[in-house]
Structure 1
């Protein structure tokens, strides 16, 4: 059944609804989703895509296209590339009669593109940073009109300016993440481990956090902070840190001190990210039954971030060859985690671990290195 074009009042309600959400959102992908949903609702299209320019790779890409995954194409190609390059709006009634339409994606997905509208959007300096592209009008008149162009141009004008501030915020977050990963790798390099260890622990922690019901923001915070869990190792002498044999009681106390050292390094920050990293650094060796260190916290006295990182860290540590042990086979790791459920580890996290194990193994394979057992 065909839809009817929206009235002015209906358009205003959609605009106010989405503008309020976009203005308060700081996650780039979430903003792109909101922009795509707003565009689709405003002009009654079947799909709406938000494209951005990647100047480094000289490509345009979308992570938010209704019905498809990320798409990347060379800058200047296709209808959307033409619109971005020229700064011109484009309306096509029949895509297959226009030589600029790239039909490869239709052939891959089986989707039939008929009508298209493309509107570039600009930042506060007037520079084009991307474009809206909507596909297939859902009204009785099955193509986009000048009225649709006016409506989508209005959405693009506001959303483009809002998007710029979110992109700048995302750039800061990405820079912080890169610094944290680099600092986390320092501890691993000193203990002759690979940098992929901290990357794997970060990805495992994110998967477990989301499966436990933590919000996307909380899970992302943990993913970004968890690579710092062993940063305190920078202060541990090499002779102790890389000793191949069994540690003496005194040496073990020195090793244990990396949790307090990491916490002291990070705790004074005013940044949520580094305060989270301080929690993880201090608490990832605490145990559910209270026998861990440095403070012997028990059960939910241990922060959820510490409890999650503990499972992620042990899983990866056992999977990899270390100076003091060979890599464990997967079955042996599974048996230990089951045995330590309710002792070392939070039972709920172990249950989620086994539910999510296929995802975790995919991550391990993707971020593997020569020391990881991929059995």
Structure 2
């Protein structure tokens, strides 16, 4: 019998109500290999839901997790529906987690813990349910599998199905805990990076949504030039750090309303070196990427930029993209030393600086993506300064 790990269950009933041992092993090996390669929580949850469904021939399978901060159970993966959140301890899954025991229910409508409201809202008819809690490496329950409706004529699960879902759950908990820890670390890094970026901009009186807009612009331009989604997302996360080195520049220079003198400009240019030195020794890939952006976003395609005067493709693509995003936003926004330029004047400058300040190919992509960039500018518009 064939199984389809990443496809929806068809309406055709299978010829058998149970998997053979060989089929179960093949399903487990296939999914565990895929899960081991994933670093995204949502992707892992989907794979686990599909694994549980395929192992016991369920119509639907859901992976629930505990949100201790909000005292809720939630799932971002439930076949046929979007995210669901329920109070911790409620429903059949909540009861199963609370008592730490698996449940096999033949007729959900005969069980007072079943919430039939979801069925009434979606038009789906729940018959039989299996719920199996799973634990992390410390033995504490972190969530539960829940399968709904056996893919058979009577739609009822058996004790054998329960044992098979327990097998899936024994792997799920340890894998999920690892992924959740990874995502927590990444979320913390993202928050720190964005906050540090805001600090750099606030000191130079570039308040408002500058760092947010530069991040979004960078992401759009990165995708436009063919960068992988994962890499484009990474650039989006670190681009707010491009001016972090301004923390070392005196306020008298950062907040000067008029043109800088030659000496003042030389001091201002130091922010690229300072930002690079702050970030370059980090062992985290995100901060290493941020170091590149901080160091090279003022370099120019023709070699007349700073701090090193490198040119062309010797400038990292991250720096070239951020340069366009930063200049576009700076020109289109009010600053203490100038008013925002009109769009026509900005576009004329980009045409003039194509192949001089900016990578010519990226200028072409910038023009192609202009409608999306303008939407971002409108969405994160600054208040008057």
> So what's the TM-score if we normalise by structure 2?
0.82
For 2:142 and 2:326, the matched residues in 1 are separated by: 40
Deviations 1:353-375 (A, max 9, x none): 56666665665566555259xxx
Counterpart of 1:60 in structure 2 is: 73
Q: Does 1:84 align with 2:97?
A: yes
Secondary structure of 2:189 counterpart:
helix
Could you say which structure has the larger radius of gyration? 2
The 1:107/1:319 distance shift into structure 2, 3 A limit, reads farther
Q: Which stretch shifts more, 100-109 or 319-328?
A: 100-109
Counterpart of 2:333 in structure 1 is: 320
Q: Does 1:138 align with 2:159?
A: no
Counterpart of 2:313 in structure 1 is: 300
Decide whether the 8 Å contact of 2:206 with 2:335 is kept in 1.
Answer: yes
Computed over aligned residues only, the root mean square deviation of the Cα atoms, in angstroms, reads 3.2
Counterpart of 1:284 in structure 2 is: 297
For 2:99 and 2:72, the matched residues in 1 are separated by: 15
Deviations 1:168-197 (A, max 9, x none): 232222222222222222211211233643
Residue 337 (structure 1) shift: 5.1
Q: Which runs of 5+ in 1 are unaligned?
A: none
Counterpart of 2:36 in structure 1 is: 23
Q: Does 1:38 align with 2:51?
A: yes
Decide whether the 8 Å contact of 2:243 with 2:272 is kept in 1.
Answer: yes
Decide whether the 8 Å contact of 1:320 with 1:371 is kept in 2.
Answer: no
The 1:60/1:327 distance shift into structure 2, 3 A limit, reads farther
Query: Which of 8, 13, 18 is the equivalent residue of 1:2?
Result: 13
> So what's the TM-score if we normalise by structure 1?
0.84
Counterpart of 1:272 in structure 2 is: 285
Q: Does 1:184 align with 2:194?
A: no
Query: Which of 266, 271, 274 is the equivalent residue of 1:258?
Result: 271
Q: Does 1:14 align with 2:6?
A: no
Deviations 1:109-147 (A, max 9, x none): 555545443222111222111122233443444333322
Aligned residue pairs, count:
372
Q: Which runs of 5+ in 2 are unaligned?
A: 1-11
Counterpart of 1:157 in structure 2 is: 170
Decide whether the 8 Å contact of 2:73 with 2:87 is kept in 1.
Answer: yes
Secondary structure of 1:326 counterpart:
coil
Decide whether the 8 Å contact of 2:208 with 2:382 is kept in 1.
Answer: no
Counterpart of 2:138 in structure 1 is: 125
For 2:308 and 2:324, the matched residues in 1 are separated by: 18
For 1:177 and 1:344, the matched residues in 2 are separated by: 30
* Aligned counterparts, 1:199-210, within 5 A: 199-210=212-223
Secondary structure of 2:269 counterpart:
helix
For 1:71 and 1:347, the matched residues in 2 are separated by: 47
Q: Which stretch shifts more, 35-44 or 235-244?
A: 35-44
For 2:237 and 2:184, the matched residues in 1 are separated by: 14
Query: Which of 100, 103, 112 is the equivalent residue of 2:113?
Result: 100
The 1:202/1:132 distance shift into structure 2, 3 A limit, reads farther
Q: Which stretch shifts more, 60-69 or 5-14?
A: 60-69
Residue 227 (structure 1) shift: 2.1
Residue 313 (structure 1) shift: 2.5
Q: Does 1:237 align with 2:250?
A: yes
Decide whether the 8 Å contact of 2:208 with 2:383 is kept in 1.
Answer: no
Decide whether the 8 Å contact of 1:205 with 1:226 is kept in 2.
Answer: yes
Secondary structure of 1:64 counterpart:
coil
Residue 8 (structure 1) shift: 1.2
Deviations 1:195-218 (A, max 9, x none): 643234334434443454434442
The 1:256/1:272 distance shift into structure 2, 3 A limit, reads same
For 1:294 and 1:231, the matched residues in 2 are separated by: 15
Q: Which stretch shifts more, 72-81 or 214-223?
A: 214-223
For 2:122 and 2:218, the matched residues in 1 are separated by: 33
Deviations 1:12-52 (A, max 9, x none): 11211222333343333332232223223222334332221
